[in-house]
């Protein structure tokens, strides 16, 4: 199952907000980035999980 379909099915409210952000950006924002932004805005308690996924991996330089 594609990530977009799973996100729409499991979290329709977040997906709706993400779709609106993508439309407002006139294609300058991907659905994935918009979804993460909407998710953190709607559910601020998930911010640490979001930040963990976007930290640079220091071991990848080796």
At 47 the pLDDT is 77
pTM of the model: 0.69
Q: How many CB atoms lie within 10 A of CB 33?
A: 14
H helices of 1-62, in order, are: 3-10, 12-24, 31-42, 47-53
| pLDDT tens string 38-59 | 988 998 887 776 666 555 555 5
| pLDDT tens string 14-40 | 999 999 999 999 989 988 888 888 988
Please tell me which residue, 61 or 31, carries the higher pLDDT value. Answer: 31
Query: In this structure, what token pair is assigned to residue 38?
Result: 């909407």
Query: In this structure, what token pair is assigned to residue 58?
Result: 């220091």
């Amino acid at each position: 199952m594609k990530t977009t379909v799973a996100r729409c099915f499991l979290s329709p409210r977040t997906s709706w907000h993400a779709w609106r952000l993508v439309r407002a950006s006139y294609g300058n924002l991907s659905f994935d980035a918009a979804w993460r932004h909407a998710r953190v805005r709607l559910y601020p308690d998930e911010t640490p999980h979001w930040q963990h996924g976007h930290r640079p991996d220091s071991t990848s330089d080796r």
